[in-house]
Structure 1
Amino acid sequence: MKRYIITLSEAHDDMERVQGALIRMGLNPGRAAEELFEGQPREFTFLPELGILIAALSEIEMETIEQDGAVLAIEEDGKEQILGVVERSGSILHNSTALWNMQLIRADVVWPTGKFGTGIRVAVIDTGIAEHPNLHIYGGQSYVAGVQSYADDNGHGTHCAGIIAGKGRNNVFGVAIGAHLYAVKALDSTGSGSTSAILSGMDWCIQNRMQVISISLGGRRAPDIGYIRAIKKCHDNNIVVVCASGNSFGSAFPWVNAPANSFTRGDDLESPIAVASVDRNKVVAGSSSRGGQTADWNQINLSAPGVSILSTFLNFGYATMSGTSMACPHVAGLAALVLEAYPGIAPPIVMALMATSATPLGTAPYPNEPYGHGIIDCVNAVGLVQAKRELPRVTSPSG
């Protein structure tokens, strides 16, 4: 028996139709307590905002469901892993070099103009966020089995959160100091988790009206239909989705990881912003994933600092970490600055502004495989937004 992610057709993505489809397939929508899977009740979980069903099924059940017209795709639940590595950790009193990454993307030039991403709701889908004097957490949710708290017990999520919205204690700043952080715990203390937990977190983000999602995790596989659906639904609800590209270059899977590689030809709404990692010399990290096995995979869109980044960590401390995990929240922070500067613009416009304002790296033509459109530039991105008052607005989702 395995757990599956069942993406339903648009015509069957509400709960009433889901229950009808299950009954039609000969399955009991109410089954639970007497049937266990991995120690948990073997029940169906429906993600209403995504139109996705998660279920533990026998092979016969899976084959039955696969044939039903209500089902767009059925995929085995995947494995996800954090994409950042701790180099060192501990306490610091003050670090005069901590700002190098913020200076590289010119976030420090934007702050004196009063732009801090104030009030923009940013969800970090990760290992959770720990309490820290340099962070303010506004809420969250856990999707790790048996764990109710969204507090971080690994450190990775707390580090990413500090890059987004660190308050500046000990000279450790985030890109969007005023952003409101939300912790969506989908990975356990080892930094691993499931696709179903990530999707559950994305469903929560839509329900709770997040504006940016930062996802610094991934799996070495082709694009998933479930992720493609989830990203599109987030974009439909005016949520910018930013993903780490992966740290697998030079391996048997050198390409952009899932979910960053999500892509459907002809529909940009189904792709996230895939972020590569560069060092302080703006050189791509040797492990930073790039390209796609086929043209039907999302490519690198933007680059950001991801080598030896100092940020918040467990036990009120700090750590230096490297990986595309660290590059991703820089871009999520910039998305918050852009949304504050020009409220109401749609996710594709946020992406376009960050791309056209980036500083090209590597060789032309751009975007290129290692760097995408180049390294983000906060000054140009925010300034470009302010100059484009004719850009269309979109209505915020109700609720």
Structure 2
Amino acid sequence: MDADVVDRLQSSGAAKVFVILKAKADLSGAPALKDWTARGWFVVNRLKATAEATQGGVRALLAARGLEAKPFWIVNAVLATADAATIDVLAARPEVARIRLHRTVPVPPTIRGEAGSPGSAPEWGIVNIRADDVWADFGTRGAGITVANIDTGVQYTHAALDTQYRGRKADGSFNHNYDWWDPSEICGNPSSAPCDNNGHGTHTMGTMVGEDGANQIGVAPAAKWIAAKGCESNSCSDFALLSSGEWILAPTKINGSAPRAGKRPHIVNNSWGTPAGGDDFYQSTVQAWVASGIFPQFSNGNSGPGCGTVGAPGSYPESYGSGAYDISNAIASFSSRGPSPFGSIIKPNISAPGVNVRSSWNNGSYLAISGTSMASPHVAGTVALIWSAVPSLRRDIAGTRPILDSTAVDTSGTCGGTTGNNNTWGEGRLDAYAAVDLANG
């Protein structure tokens, strides 16, 4: 039982907790499956079967005591609010690995700049990573790729985002099934269409795929997007993040029914995290995404410049984490540094533009803000360009990461490592053009 669970029980007599089971699904056979839909269902079915086979005792105990239980299969856990006596009994069960407090994490704070005026050229981050040169020289703008974010939502009617939304049909109408998920029903009860009551999610989506004439804000403007509202407003609850993680693996209708693993995105951007870099609670989710062929992109956190400040889930070995730098190619002071608590591995993996980044905002306008949240979607968009240009690399995460790594511009830093790979910059500054060029052979 985690220490903060004990503290909560002592202070209030009850706690909202996750009962995490020991059993883990074996997903090792997934990468051998070449069919996208079959691979997705393999992962989902293995996870669901493991949860169904091992959660019965916990769920029965809670039901016998008249307590509501919310089961999750992506982490093999059951969420419930229970008193101290019940939690003690649960913790003593042989199939239970851990009792963890349900928490919320704040949406990463961002520093606002000037909104700026649109120009005829792409935004500075697009030019800096040479994504515009990819468009011109390779004719690649992300077509055929679906990206997602787990964030505060998206203003789907924004002029820079509406045509890229997968839920928009050829006649201009919208069908949000399989393209939008709002587990906490913030956008309506039930939630019938995407919304963003913060702005953060609209901004990160814009950096991935946004474009509106002169407003060339997105790295891969021909890609399609879908979204899950894992952050209710200014914070993200564990419940919403896990529910969103499951939906990413097998998107559903907006009412949560009829999941379809074949509708999952190729790439998911996560511009959120906890300052506690050693928190492994979301690791099973990231591992499941990777097993299904989804590229897991994360921000590294805004707790710099101290060493060892990387947040989770960006700190996980399975996550591809991004630091942030400015228009002068100087690392941002706020950009969290490694090493990671997980085996002292180098983090971030790479760095991207994250200071004064202009993108779409939730009131239909554009705003320049700063944070590793802004850097991460530059990387996600670059993966979309690579996978669009070279379809054989799609779902091949182990083959894609070295392309990003080896083409990054080496930049020396502190906190340990080398000029080519260190805990300030990771492998260096993102270079989308070099990455697509290498991928093309």
TM-score (norm 1): 0.84
1:327 is aligned to 2:356: no
Q: Distance in 2 between matches of 1:249 and 1:167?
A: 31
Residue aligning to 2:319: 272
Q: Equivalent residues in 2 for 1:290-305 (5 A)?
A: 290-292=337-339, 294=341, 296=343, 299-305=347-353
Paired residue type of 2:311: N
> CA separation in 2, counterparts of 1:90 and 1:108?
21
Partner of 1:132: 158
Structure having the higher strand fraction is 1
1:152 partnered with 2:196 = yes
8 A Cα contact 1:360 1:375, kept in partner: yes
Does the aligned pair in 2 maintain the 1:84–1:321 contact within 8 Å? no
Deviates more, 1:120-129 or 1:218-227: 218-227
Structure 2, unmatched stretches of 5+, are 1-13, 26-46, 167-178, 252-263
How do residues 344-363 of structure 1 correspond to structure 2 at under 5 angstroms? Answer: 344-363=394-413
Distance (whole Å) between structure 1 residues aligned to residue 97 and residue 48 of structure 2: 10
Q: Is the 8 A contact 2:295 2:395 kept in 1?
A: no
Match runs of 1:108-127 below 5 Å: 108-112=132-136, 113-127=138-152
Is contact 1:278–1:305 with CA below 8 Å preserved after alignment? yes
Aligned equivalent of 1:258: 312
Q: CA deviation at 1:295?
A: 5.4
Question: Is residue 48 from structure 1 mapped to residue 80 from structure 2 by the alignment?
Answer: no
Distance 1:77 1:165, change over 3 A: same
> Within 5 Å, which residues of 2 pair with 1:195-210?
195-208=238-251, 209-210=264-265
Match of 2:16 in 1: 3
State, as a whole percentage, how many aligned pairs show the same letter: 28
Say if 1:365 and 1:20 are closer, same or farther in 2 by CA, change over 3 A: same
Residue-by-residue CA offset, 1:67-107 (whole Å, 9 max, x unaligned): 33333433222322222525246684x33565211111010
**Do structure 1's residue 22 and structure 2's residue 76 form an aligned pair?**
no
After superposition, the Cα gap between the structure-2 partners of 1:49 and 1:68, relative to the gap in structure 1 and judged at 3 Å, is same
Cα distance in 2 for partners of 1:282, 1:90 equals 21
Q: Is the 8 A contact 1:273 1:301 kept in 2?
A: yes
Structure 1: distance between partners of 2:408 and 2:186: 43
> Which position in structure 2 is the counterpart of 1:82?
107
Matched ranges for 1:181-196 at <5 A: 181-189=225-233, 191-196=234-239
In 2, distance between residues paired with 1:83 and 1:210? 23
Report the residue type matching 1:192 in the other structure: S
Equivalent residues of 2:74, 2:284 under 8 A apart: no
Of 139, 157, 164, which residue of structure 1 is paired with 2:208? 164
8 A Cα contact 2:55 2:78, kept in partner:
no
Q: Which residue does 1:227 correspond to in 2?
A: 282
Q: Distance in 2 between matches of 1:373 and 1:82?
A: 26
* AA in 2 matched with 1:330: H
Structure 1 CA distance, aligned partners of 2:223 and 2:85?
48
Distance 1:143 1:23 in 2: 21
- Cα contact 1:137–1:183 (8 A) shared by 2: no
Q: CA deviation at 1:226?
A: 2.5
Residue aligning to 2:292? 237
Point out 4+ residue stretches in structure 1 off by more than 4 angstroms: 88-92
Is 334-343 or 373-382 further displaced after alignment? 334-343
User: What's the CA shift for 1:121?
Assistant: 1.5
| TM-aligned CA deviation for residue 23 of structure 1 | 5.1
Partner of 2:302: 247
